[in-house]
Structure 1
């Protein structure tokens, strides 16, 4: 009875929201996306002239939409960053094997550091293959068990041990990536283990992107949060090597690459010293500066201290490795389009008038550098996280046409998934599992920063089953973007894009946000979600 009653109330509320929802502006979506992704903005890299232009334009649009400055009278939250640019990168060499192996920067290798130091040198460091580099006591899994890697160079596989398992059952969620599979985790754990250097073997399928993406993202200026201690507790060097380079390294060490990769998939795997030594060095140019998050608010009429959050990242890669003479990574889909969605939603909510709770629109910086802007906001919230009801994050919108399906990324985590279902059903669409859960999208955008600290955030998008062309057309479009445009200069605005699917998705986000803002409930994580305890503790101390 209680479930039926709750469903009836939810459907009634959904219908009411749908009837009163203002139309989202197609012109806004087109104008903001085209403008932010124009060459004038130089790829919107943080702490550049492109940032200054981006901030000015976003404030202009949010002000015109009718929002108020969201940070004590300011539109901005300063995010302290340090920019580290590697120079004079020597080849990464491995000696002591059957034949010496030398890996060339950019071609075979990308390498960087979290440490804020003018020079990095890894000299005669013993090399150890540590499988997937995971230490997960709750899963009885430790790739470092019995192996002291302090001062050594660890070589690591990307993703989880069971990423090739079809379905969602396995030691690490089967096909769905866990946080243990993300490169960020692997470097964090290597540092905790005391490794001098941590090198991930690139493999396109489990990494979810080709070498070109690694190359463009990991070369040139790299940003980190500027914190006391200069990150000296991290490994000296972190990087990626091409799979062929890894095979050459294992052959030189007299090891069977295929056999060791297979062994690493199974519980009880023991790290394997390769019997070779690593050497690499490079200089760093260091520049400290602040970037900015942009915050606008539509204050609530009854409970303004309770907040519903929309987020999208405004930044992209700036200048990157040139392709056919073009060295501006414009980031039209990623994420000028999501930022345009943020502006369009702000306009729609203002037209509908203030809700009972406040609606906050957060455009964050430095997502491409490791979710730094959202991480800083989550750790230094303008609005207390215990009073933040939940929200929606947007990282790209549908530009290929209406879809029959809707994908919840990281499904099975929060009660927001139940609340969004009627809005999806109202469009005669169905919710489907992620088509590529192995890519770990849940851990790759700004909702994750909020989720880690307990705030339920929805991350959803159109699926691949298009109303025109079906699943074949949808998969073709998705694969084409990943292979040819993602994190490349080719991610440019195209006047021929179809926006119908984007409008439908944004209407779902509008409805969910409006329902949360007009209501009084506090959606939580499901009991099995890894963020539930954090949320419960946060809400208990509100």
Structure 2
């Protein structure tokens, strides 16, 4: 997954959203809301947090790589902990949900050949451009496809915005800008939430929308600031095997090819076609922009090496007492990188202690605490998903093939890293105030004495880089919160230092290992917050929705209408 370090700062420090602590408390509640249930802050077992983390991050599990020998060890251990906590198997009597995967690797790539006027331009794979196919076919070949500049490639009916208006994309390649039109704003005011990235700014959305428009291919223009990462990240992420979920049509509903081009490459193509990239990019920021054919055609080709496999999600449930057909989720990914690049000592196991053995430990501890408290009104589902590190694939598969209907899924809590260290005075929330879950967060913060810390880099779209996003895309609101950096012991200096140390020296490296000297009091506090958030939802009767104008409101409305 691209540029996750910007998200990981939230694991042990401040990574999250807009300052709404006071706003949540001060905003009058709509009469349509029911009172938030009173929930007692429970004891969370430090022994469970410590023991599960130590076990899953030991060398015996070889970094928990999916579809390796370690997967069987990992899911067997998670099932053991779920059983011991008192959960029931969550998939029709089984603990497991199979996730079928397709690994596709582009080989023998031709590069990109562009004919603009009487000029033939050639660009090299890796250095100038990268490309891959979501289709499980042995060869991808596009010849002389017209290039069309479609601005930011956004079709947002709720905002009255359509970069594809009046255009038939069949047989054409869309050239698209990264991020969304507001990314240069200093504030979060604007049609696309100003500086805060919306899903319309994510590269994944641009490929999805181009496919819906019938395009043959998509080329995103890379620019470091709006992308939030350099070309080297794109190059390293797109020049090897790519993992996808197997589909019934082998991906044939997707475009033939998705890729990126360097900004100077785009400038050269536009210039040869008699256009100016900077001038057209400025026009693309304004409502009413119309797509611009570039008077240029492009050709590309590559072979596809296809390997099919299967991994597994683990699902446990505590059935609800009075509304068992309403569901609240707790999610965490169990996978990590497996064997990886050796460090200076020769260690080649990326153990993933914080990322995300701690999240699975939190799942186990929450299962224990909820079973001890007895059934809530609604059912509580404990979901350990696979393949997060490969692009949120395990959560994506569950969301698209839910064991429990999403129309009856109230919401949930995602846990991606529960860092050790001191308890905190503040809470971080990724994505800003997007939905009515903030009401519950405000109540939990007040009960535990937290204040909310603003997100440091809202333009980087950190909200869209963890498993909660897979559910958000299909309408289910999920909490993405953690304790912040204002530590009770050592203050912000200590919290920020711990965050920086993790990102610089441990994230996705063999050094993300269990340390017997870790202080678990902060992690315990964080899991207590997760308990409150999930238990409030499970004891309540409301159906939190996305705020009007949010990109996920329409799909939630359709889902709920179908589920009533």
Decide whether the 8 Å contact of 2:67 with 2:311 is kept in 1: yes
1:298–1:136: structure 2 CA closer, same or farther, 3 Å change rule? closer
Alignment map for 1:463-502 (pairs within 5 Å): 463-467=484-488, 488-489=508-509, 492-493=512-513, 495=515, 499-502=520-523
Find the aligned partners of 2:261 and 2:183 in 1 and give their Cα distance. 20
Shift of 1:357: 3.5
- Find the partner of 2:38 among 13, 16, 41: 13
Whether 1:290 and 2:297 are equivalent positions in the alignment is no
Deviations 1:499-521 (A, max 9, x none): 4433222111112222333x242
Whether 1:373 and 2:394 are equivalent positions in the alignment is yes
Deviation at 1:117, TM superposition (A): 0.3
Q: CA deviation at 1:361?
A: 0.4
Q: Cα–Cα, structure 1 residues 226 and 484, in superposed 2: closer, same or farther, change >3 Å? A: same
What's the counterpart of residue 182 of structure 1?
202
- Counterpart of 2:529 (choices 492, 508, 511) is 508
Distance 1:234 1:453, change over 3 A: closer
- C-alpha contact 1:45 1:315 (8 A) present in aligned 2: yes
CA distance in 1, matches of 2:406, 2:413: 14
Aligned mates of 1:364, 1:313 — CA distance in 2: 5
From 315, 319, 328, the counterpart of 1:308: 328
* CA deviation string 1:358-404 (max 9, x = no partner): 32200122334443322332333222334433321112234464433
- Cα offset for 1:303? 4.3
> Do residues 423 (structure 1) and 444 (structure 2) align?
yes
Residue 195 of structure 1: aligned partner: 215
| Equivalent residue in structure 2 for 1:225, among 242, 245, 262 | 245
Asked if residue 154 in structure 1 is aligned to residue 179 in structure 2, the reply is no
- What secondary structure is seen at the aligned counterpart in 1 of 2:328? strand
Q: CA deviation at 1:162?
A: 0.5
User: Would the aligned equivalents of 1:98 and 1:254 in 2 still touch at CA under 8 Å?
Assistant: no
Give the CA deviation at 1:311. 0.8
- Local SS of the residue matching 2:448: coil
Alignment partners' CA distance in 2, 1:95 and 1:301: 66
Match of 2:112? 92
Aligned mates of 1:195, 1:439 — CA distance in 2: 27
Matched residues in 2 for 1:326 and 1:242: separation? 35
Question: SS of 1:407's equivalent?
Answer: strand
1:103 pairs with 2:124: yes
- Residue 360 of structure 2 aligns with which residue? 339
Q: 1:350 aligns with which of 371, 387, 390?
A: 371
Whether the aligned pair in 2 keeps the contact of 1:465 and 1:471 (CA below 8 Å) is yes
**Deviation at residue 48 of structure 1 after TM alignment:** 3.2
Task: Give the conservation status (yes or no) of the 8 Å contact 1:416–1:523.
Answer: no
Deviation at residue 494 of structure 1 after TM alignment: 5.3
CA displacement at 1:73 relative to structure 2? 1.9
Q: Which has the higher contact order (CA 8 A, sep 6+)?
A: 2
d(CA) in 1 for partners of 2:492, 2:151: 35
Query: 2: distance between equivalents of 1:112 and 1:70?
Result: 36
**CA deviation map 1:177-197 (0-9, x unaligned):** 222111111001222233222
Distance 1:404 1:121, change over 3 A: same
CA separation of 1:196/1:59 partners in 2, compared to 1, >3 Å: closer, same or farther? Answer: same
8 A Cα contact 2:123 2:129, kept in partner: no
Q: Which residue of 2 aligns with 1:406?
A: 427
Measure, in 1, the Cα distance between the counterparts of 2:366 and 2:288: 50
Equivalent residues in 2 for 1:318-337, closer than 5 Å: 318=338, 330-337=351-358
1:240 aligned to 241, 260, 263, which one?
A: 260
Residue equivalent to 1:461: 482
How far apart are the structure 2 equivalents of 1:41 and 1:79?
20
Give the length in aligned residue pairs.
Answer: 532
User: In 1, distance between residues paired with 2:501 and 2:433?
Assistant: 28
C-alpha deviation, 1:310, in angstroms = 0.5
Instruction: Quote the Cα distance in structure 2 between the aligned partners of 1:201 and 1:82.
Output: 27
**RMSD, aligned α-carbons:** 3.5
After superposition, the Cα gap between the structure-2 partners of 1:147 and 1:60, relative to the gap in structure 1 and judged at 3 Å, is same
Cα distance in 1 between the residues matched to 2:282 and 2:540:
51
Task: Tell me: CA distance 1:98–1:489, structure 2 relative to 1, closer, same or farther (3 Å).
Answer: farther
Match of 1:137 among 157, 168, 171: 157
The alignment's TM-score, normalised by the length of structure 2, stands at: 0.82
Confirm or deny that 1:262 pairs with 2:282.
yes
Whether contact under 8 Å (1:316, 1:335) holds in the other structure is: yes
Alignment partners' CA distance in 2, 1:32 and 1:513:
21
